[in-house]
Amino acid sequence: MAEKSTLDWIALVLVIIGGLNWGLFGISQDLNLVALIFGYSIIARIVYILVGLSALYMVYYATKK
């Protein structure tokens, strides 16, 4: 198995954070981990964008040889 780069690890952590956030939101629609930490600010929007880009990267990572 190939070594994971720093980008791989960052993307993996962000995807896990996104998954946990969606899971908590699914359990209780009032619980949004990112909003609790950052409020509804530009930083929260950046986190959401990074999580989405990380998910796309994980799709690439999972399908590369």
Over residues 4-53, the pLDDT tens digits come to: 889 989 999 999 999 998 898 899 888 888 888 888 899 999 999 999 99
What's the confidence (pLDDT) of residue 1? Answer: 56
In sequence order, which residues have a C-beta less than 8 Å from that of residue 11 and are 6 or more positions away?
A: 54, 57, 58, 61
What's the confidence (pLDDT) of residue 43? Answer: 93
What's the confidence (pLDDT) of residue 46? Answer: 93
Place of tokens 């950046």: 46
Residue 9: both structure tokens together: 């690890």
Distance CA 8, CA 54 (A): 9
Dihedral of CA atoms 52, 7, 43, 16 in degrees, nearest 10, equals: 60
pLDDT category of residue 54 using cuts at 50, 70 and 90: very high
What's the confidence (pLDDT) of residue 55? Answer: 93
Q: What angle do CA 64, 7, 20 make, to 5 degrees?
A: 90
